């Protein structure tokens, strides 16, 4: 049986990101502590070099596959950072609502997606199509980094 408490897993996208083995995330981590890291998704990881601005990821540092694998402390930290990040998206980015989802079909290291819904988003784009609204805010690395700096100004 795999021991996921032993440390970073080679080749894991999230472990590699936390260890600085990939390109830096846009604007750097928004917030991080001994158990948790919050980042903006990276346009360089998409085929079109373009992301939905405000799409954040909350991740345990430990290579835990899903919510059910978190320790009580990790769960508290992930929940608190998710709440804080959602508050920052509302206060600083103007989100009217923040969706949260764990998908995990591609990378077996928990990453909780937070996706803001901005005012004016047509009903047909709500929830899992919110990032497909053509008039929603999209951008590259520079735009994501600029938003990260603004969100980071919201102190926990
Ligand atoms: Zn990992």
- pLDDT tens-digit profile of 36-60? 999 999 988 877 778 999 999 999 9
In a domain, residue 109? The reply is: yes
Structural domain count of the chain = 1
Report residue 144 CA to chain centroid gap. Answer: 12
Where the chain has pLDDT below 50, the residues are 1-4
**Residue 25 sits in a domain of what CATH number?**
3.30.428.10
pLDDT, residue 2, reads 45
CA 65 to ligand 1 centroid distance, Å: 8
pLDDT, residue 6, reads 61
In a domain, residue 5? The reply is: no
Per-residue burial over 105-128, b = 16 or more CB atoms within 10 Å of its CB, e = otherwise: eeebbbbbbbbbbbeebeeebeee
Round to whole Å and give the CA distance between 38 and 19. 14
pLDDT, residue 43, reads 84
CB atoms within 10 A of CB 10: 8
In a domain, residue 138? The reply is: yes
In a domain, residue 102? The reply is: yes
Round to whole Å and give the CA distance between 99 and 46. 20
Residues spanned by the domain of 99: 13-152
In a domain, residue 2? The reply is: no
CA 62 to ligand 1 centroid distance, Å: 7
CA 104 to ligand 1 centroid distance, Å: 12
Listing DSSP states for 118-130 in one string gives: -TT--GGGSGGGG
Which residues, by Cβ under 5 Å, contact ligand 1, an ion? 9, 12, 14-15, 63, 109
In a domain, residue 108? The reply is: yes
């Amino acid at each position: 049986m795999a021991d996921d408490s032993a440390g970073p897993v080679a080749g894991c996208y999230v472990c590699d990101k936390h260890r600085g083995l990939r390109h830096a995330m846009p604007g750097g981590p928004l917030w991080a502590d001994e158990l948790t890291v919050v980042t903006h998704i990276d346009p360089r990881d998409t085929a079109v070099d373009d992301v939905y601005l405000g799409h954040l990821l909350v991740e345990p540092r430990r290579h835990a596959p899903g919510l059910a694998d978190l320790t009580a402390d990790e769960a508290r930290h992930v929940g608190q950072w998710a709440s804080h990040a959602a508050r920052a998206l509302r206060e600083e980015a103007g989100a009217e609502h923040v969706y949260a989802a764990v998908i995990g079909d591609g990378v077996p290291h928990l990453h909780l997606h937070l996706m803001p819904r901005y005012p004016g988003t047509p009903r047909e784009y709500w929830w899992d199509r919110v990032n497909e609204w053509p008039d929603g805010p999209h951008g590259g690395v520079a735009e994501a980094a600029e938003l990260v700096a603004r969100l980071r100004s919201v102190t926990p």
